[in-house]
Homo-oligomer: A and B are copies of this chain.
Amino acid sequence: MQLGLVGLGRMGGNMRERLRAAGHEVVGYDRNADRSDVTSLAELAEKLDGPRAVWVMVPAGVTDTTIDAVAEVLSDGDIIIDGGNSRFSDDAPRAERLDTRGIGYLDVGVSGGVWGKENGYALMVGGAQEHVDRLMPIFEALKPAGEHGFVHAGPVGAGHYAKMVHNGIEYGLMHAYAEGYELLTKSELVTNVPGVFKSWREGTVVQSWLLDLLDRALDEDPDLSDLSGYTEDTGEGRWTVDEAIRLAVPLNVIAASLFARFTSRQEDSPAMKAVAALRQQFGGHAVHKR
């Protein structure tokens, strides 16, 4: 089927290729003319037969303005799909805004990173059943080949919600391996830390894709000496904890994983300075001056 695709960066560009390889007709638009199939959104709209479907794949900061610009060139009966990293709470207002123009809206959480082009993208979709049905050929082409990797999670917002929780879980999983890694590296007994991780890839309870990747990283750099522990976090991790707080869900593990990333970016900790100050005051404990 035909699909408009707005945003042809690393993710969007790879998705265009995967969709075309599956036989779909993709008209891509990007501000960068080198990647773009058309020179404007208007031209993109013209090249698609109605009812049109346009997938927006742009950075979170410009999603709303992009969607509004796309809506300008679409008409009643068309559908816009947001496959970016939007906060789920932005979806319903957006869908209502589009609905006044008769334009449908689907939110799609997309997982897969740099591996998706080859292996397929896991898709978590929110929106009306009729809109999902209309886009199924596209979803089928993007998703992995197996029986999993796609879910219609609920109404508008549910797709980004599911993706948000996915990323929250990912924070916790990564940190669990990371804590085990640190403990092993500190042990006086275990002399073959990379070998331990490699061995776990089969027959154990902790086998996973993340473990495979950690093994891969340790193959390249056995003591991770080339890396710094400075680690960014993304919106999804923060939103997950915020949402848990709203719903009174105790989220100790995921919150601790998020906080550890915050700490990793601090040169020195104001909180620990306060602890050091207190220790100095009541105990005359030696402190480290700067």
Query: Which A218-259 residues have a C-beta within 8 angstroms of B?
Result: 218, 221, 224-233, 238, 240-259
* Apart from A158-B189, A172-B172, 7 more pairs, CB < 8 Å: A111-B203, A148-B202, A173-B173, A224-B277, A227-B287, A229-B275, A242-B242
Tell me if B151 and A203 are in contact (CB < 8 A).
no
Q: A230-B288, A281-B213 are in contact. Are A249 and B176 (CB under 8 A)?
A: no
Q: A150-B199, A189-B155, A253-B175 are in contact. Are A227 and B273 (CB under 8 A)?
A: yes
Contacting residue for A274 out of B143, B146, B181, CB 8 A? B181
Tell me if A289 and B228 are in contact (CB < 8 A).
yes
A244 to chain B, nearest CB (A): 5
Tell me if A183 and B283 are in contact (CB < 8 A).
no
Q: How far is the CA of A256 from the CA of B176 in the complex (A)?
A: 11
Tell me if B281 and A272 are in contact (CB < 8 A).
no
A258 to chain B, nearest CB (A): 7
Count this chain's copies in the assembly: 4
Which residues in A have some Cβ–Cβ distance to B below 8 Å? 10, 88, 111-116, 119-124, 126, 143-144, 146-155, 157-158, 161-162, 165-187, 189-192, 195-196, 198-211, 213-214, 216-218, 221, 224-233, 238, 240-265, 268-285, 287-290
Tell me if A249 and B182 are in contact (CB < 8 A).
yes
Tell me if B114 and A283 are in contact (CB < 8 A).
yes
Tell me if A289 and B226 are in contact (CB < 8 A).
yes
Q: A162-B184, A203-B149 are in contact. Are A250 and B242 (CB under 8 A)?
A: no
* Chain B contacts for A265, CB-based, 8 A: 248
Tell me if B176 and A190 are in contact (CB < 8 A).
no
Tell me if A200 and B122 are in contact (CB < 8 A).
yes
Q: A182-B274, A200-B148, A270-B182 are in contact. Are A153 and B210 (CB under 8 A)?
A: no
Q: A185-B270, A250-B262 are in contact. Are A113 and B158 (CB under 8 A)?
A: no
Tell me if A176 and B253 are in contact (CB < 8 A).
yes
Q: How far is the CA of A253 from the CA of B148 in the complex (A)?
A: 29
Q: A241-B241, A277-B224, A279-B231 are in contact. Are A180 and B169 (CB under 8 A)?
A: yes
Tell me if B277 and A240 are in contact (CB < 8 A).
no
A-B contact pairs, 11 of them (CB 8 A): A114-B284, A122-B204, A153-B192, A158-B190, A166-B204, A179-B251, A187-B243, A217-B277, A218-B277, A231-B287, A253-B257
* Chain B contacts for A246, CB-based, 8 A: 238
Q: Which 9 residue pairs of A and B lie closest in terms of their CB atoms, listed nearest first?
A: A172-B176, A229-B272, A208-B208, A122-B203, A151-B199, A250-B259, A217-B277, A149-B202, A148-B202
Q: A166-B204, A190-B161 are in contact. Are A231 and B275 (CB under 8 A)?
A: yes
